[in-house]
């Protein structure tokens, strides 16, 4: 199982993102949290910022859209050159159509679920997706504590993905650190969003490498 670490810049210095992103060359993707103060009670940044980041780095961008009217706005992020675009199924009226449009535009299509949203009703959507993101905190703010009640859903999701076959990544987002990442690996995750753990470290890139090594060791047990 391939392991990927995708640091969230929500916990970085937003006034100097080019430098902050350059500090984590070992990151597999850069995770960008787009919030609109409607779907979640927080406001971050939108498409113009993502376009600016795209122009300043060659690292792969992993966009997490926590926004209302996601069917309308998500394709613009794929058009801007993001390698992966995640939409919340709770915000989408037409998730199959949206996933297909994202893929047509050259992006990986990813679907996110809040902690209380079950995976089972969406099992038939798996052929349309390249990644499933399970929130392990309530979306909206960085620095929250990991919700271990999501672990059973993570295991059920991994079972669905294994039964489906193919190469669909299983990402977790929220409270990921050295103390929680192994539990997520054991439950089946292979892609990890880490914000506070990375950017609060004295050496953010060393933390990225450490988390990846820890997850790879746990996956090899």
Query: What is the domain extent for residue 149?
Result: 4-219
**Nearest CA-CA partner of 32 in 66, 4, 56:** 66
3-state secondary structure of 11: helix
Is 28 part of the annotated catalytic residue set?
Answer: no
137-159 core/surface letters (b: 16 or more CB in 10 A; e: else): bebbebebebbeebbebbebbbe
Is 16 part of the annotated catalytic residue set?
Answer: no
Sheet holding 191-194, edge to edge: 4-7, 191-194, 169-173, 131-135, 108-113, 84-88, 61-66, 30-35
- Please identify which of the residues 33, 36, 130, 190 carries the catalytic annotation: 33
pLDDT per residue, tens digit, the chain (221 aa), is 699 999 999 989 989 999 999 999 999 999 999 999 999 999 999 999 999 999 999 999 999 999 999 999 999 999 999 999 999 999 999 999 999 999 999 999 999 999 999 999 999 999 999 999 999 999 877 778 899 999 999 999 999 999 999 899 999 999 999 999 999 999 999 999 999 999 999 999 999 999 999 999 998 65
CATH number where 126 lies: 3.20.20.70
Report how many domains make up the chain: 1
3-state secondary structure of 194: strand
- Please identify which of the residues 36, 62, 173, 190 carries the catalytic annotation: 173
Query: pLDDT per residue over 157-187, tens digit each?
Result: 999 999 999 899 999 999 999 999 999 999 9
pTM: 0.96
């Amino acid at each position: 199982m391939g392991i990927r670490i995708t640091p969230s810049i929500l916990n970085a210095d937003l006034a100097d993102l080019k430098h902050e992103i350059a500090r984590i060359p070992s990151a597999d993707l850069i995770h960008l949290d787009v919030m609109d103060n409607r779907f979640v009670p927080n406001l971050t940044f939108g498409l113009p910022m993502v376009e600016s980041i795209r122009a300043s780095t060659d690292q792969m961008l992993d966009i997490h859209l926590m926004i209302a009217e996601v069917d309308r706005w998500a394709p613009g992020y794929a058009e801007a050159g993001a390698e992966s675009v995640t939409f919340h199924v709770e915000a989408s009226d037409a998730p199959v159509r949206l996933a297909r449009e994202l893929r047509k535009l050259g992006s990986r299509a990813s679907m996110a679920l809040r902690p209380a949203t079950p995976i089972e009703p969406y099992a038939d959507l798996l052929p349309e997706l390249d990644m499933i993101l399970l929130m392990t905190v309530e979306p909206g703010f960085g620095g929250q504590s990991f919700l271990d009640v999501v672990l059973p859903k993570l295991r059920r999701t991994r079972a669905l993905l294994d039964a489906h076959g193919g190469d669909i990544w299983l990402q977790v987002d929220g409270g990921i650190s050295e103390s929680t990442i192994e539990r997520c690996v054991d439950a089946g995750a292979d892609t990890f969003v880490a914000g506070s753990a990375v950017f609060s470290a004295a050496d953010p890139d060393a933390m990225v490498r450490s988390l990846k090594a820890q997850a790879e060791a746990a996956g090899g047990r």
